[in-house]
């Protein structure tokens, strides 16, 4: 059965002073005392309940723990060997304990060390570097193993002593009702041992900040958002615990000509009006050099031509993508008088011939239908 609130048991408010608390307890004790209620089990239970409530609330330290954590904060069976919840890291430790059970990281009676954190480094690449692969140097500051104590945290020549809180197990047991769980020892943080004489360079932490320079190999075909993992190159663990990993995240810069979508590359190819009308053969750029592109006569602006196999092989794909060239027909500008006259003659020759301007005819026919 769940315990009732101690303030409710004694019939007082949470801000009750010491004198009024004592008076409330006396009233309850006199009412339910076993001598006044012989063979009355219910009265006996209420008398015990009142005694327990007054014992906790009349002690300033226990009352403070109860106000913070409720019954768990004053239950002596919780966290045996670690001072209960009040002296073993607080009520939140029970959530740590359940997290340890479901998240792994535990062994039967073994210790747990606090591993180093993973780090992330953002690396900018050109499109060419991302597609072909490259080796780059990355420089960053991180917590590295202390060189003075070799990451142990202990002064040279000094040793470790067994943790008195957990007896070297690295864990302490705590109980709440019918639950019995284990938590990492708050004193030694799961190591089972404590440092007797801390290293003066790292103050017993086993690590100090250090600038590192590493060479990272970026595989061919990476794209923005891809990550390269460097195992054990992250933050060093405390007191010799395993280091975390370094994740190098790729960001590809915008290219002046090409845009990438997965394995395909896109580019826009400007051509003149005569070339679009008469047809031509152009040289277009690719990442492997220039290739010839045949543009048929009568090509309209926006027409897309596909060059198969001239794209990118993504890092997690087997096939190379294509290059897609979108033709943009340029309108002539800064014409001289002779050029303008030639264009007027050419325009006059087109008047009345809808076959030579099929898009124009379909557009204006659509307008007629819309407003009719």
CATH number for position 56: 1.10.287.110
| Domain termination site, one of 78, 103, 128 | 103
User: Which of 126-135, 280-289, 353-362 has the largest mean confidence?
Assistant: 126-135
Position 363 in a domain:
yes
Q: What is the mean pLDDT of the chain?
A: 79
The last residue of one of the domains, among 64, 87, 103, is 103
End-of-domain residue from the set 45, 76, 103 = 103
**Domain contains 165:** no
pTM of this structure: 0.54
For residue 215, what are its two tokens?
């060479």
Mean pLDDT of 69-80: 65
User: Any idea what the CATH number is for the domain that residue 284 is in?
Assistant: 2.60.260.20
pLDDT tens, position by position, 279-314: 999 999 888 888 999 999 989 999 999 999 999 999
The predicted pLDDT at position 296 comes to 94
Angle at 300 between CA 294 and CA 304, to 5 degrees: 60
Co-location of 311 and 266 in the same domain: yes
**Alpha-carbon gap, residue 205 to 203, rounded angstroms:** 6
Asked, for residue 184, whether it belongs to a domain, the answer is no
Structural domain includes residue 123: no
pLDDT above 70 (res 219)? yes
**Do 302 and 328 touch, CB atoms closer than 8 A?**
yes
Domain range for 32: 6-103
Q: Same domain for 291 and 360?
A: no
Tokens of residue 226, six digits: 């891809």
Token pair, residue 203, equals 């103050």
Q: Are residues 15 and 96 in the same domain?
A: yes
- Characterise 77 by phi-psi region: left (phi > 0), alpha (psi -120 to 50), beta (else): alpha
The residue to which tokens 């898009």 are assigned:
359
Task: Mark whether 366 and 299 lie in a shared domain.
Answer: no
Count of domains in the chain?
Answer: 3
Indicate the length of the chain as a whole number: 372
Does the pLDDT at position 16 exceed 80?
Answer: yes
225-251 tens-digit pLDDT: 888 999 988 888 776 678 889 999 888
């Amino acid at each position: 059965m769940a315990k009732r609130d101690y303030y409710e048991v004694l019939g007082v408010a949470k801000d009750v002073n010491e004198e009024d608390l004592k008076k409330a307890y006396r009233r309850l004790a006199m009412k339910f005392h076993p001598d006044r209620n012989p063979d009355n089990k219910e009265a006996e239970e209420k008398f015990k309940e009142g005694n327990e409530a007054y014992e906790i609330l009349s002690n300033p330290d226990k009352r403070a723990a109860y106000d913070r954590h409720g019954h768990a904060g004053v239950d002596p069976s919780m966290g045996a060997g670690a001072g209960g919840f009040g002296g073993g890291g607080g009520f939140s430790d029970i959530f740590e304990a359940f997290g340890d059970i479901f998240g792994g990281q535990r062994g039967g009676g073994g210790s747990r060390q606090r591993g180093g954190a993973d780090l992330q480094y953002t690396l900018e690449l050109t499109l060419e570097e991302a597609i072909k692969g490259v080796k780059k140097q990355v420089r960053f500051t991180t917590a590295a193993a202390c060189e003075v104590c070799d990451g142990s945290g202990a002064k040279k020549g000094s040793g470790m002593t067994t943790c008195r809180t957990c007896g070297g197990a690295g864990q302490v047991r705590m109980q709440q009702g019918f639950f019995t769980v284990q938590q990492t020892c708050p004193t030694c943080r799961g190591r089972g041992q404590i440092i007797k004489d801390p290293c003066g360079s790292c103050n017993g932490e086993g690590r100090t900040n250090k600038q590192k320079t590493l060479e990272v190999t970026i595989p061919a075909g990476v794209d923005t958002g891809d990550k390269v993992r460097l195992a054990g190159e992250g933050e060093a663990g405390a007191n010799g615990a395993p280091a975390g990993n370094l994740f190098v995240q790729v960001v590809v810069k915008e290219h002046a000509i090409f845009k990438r979508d997965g394995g395909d590359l896109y580019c826009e190819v400007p051509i003149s009006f005569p070339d679009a009308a008469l047809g031509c053969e152009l040289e277009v750029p690719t990442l492997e050099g220039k290739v010839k592109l045949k543009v048929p006569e009568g090509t309209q602006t926006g027409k897309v031509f596909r060059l198969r196999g001239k794209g990118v092989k993504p890092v997690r794909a087997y096939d190379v993508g294509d290059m897609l060239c979108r033709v943009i027909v340029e309108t002539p500008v800064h014409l001289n008088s002779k050029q303008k006259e030639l264009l007027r003659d050419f325009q006059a020759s087109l008047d009345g011939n809808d076959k030579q301007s099929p898009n124009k005819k379909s557009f204006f026919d659509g307008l007629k239908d819309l407003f009719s």
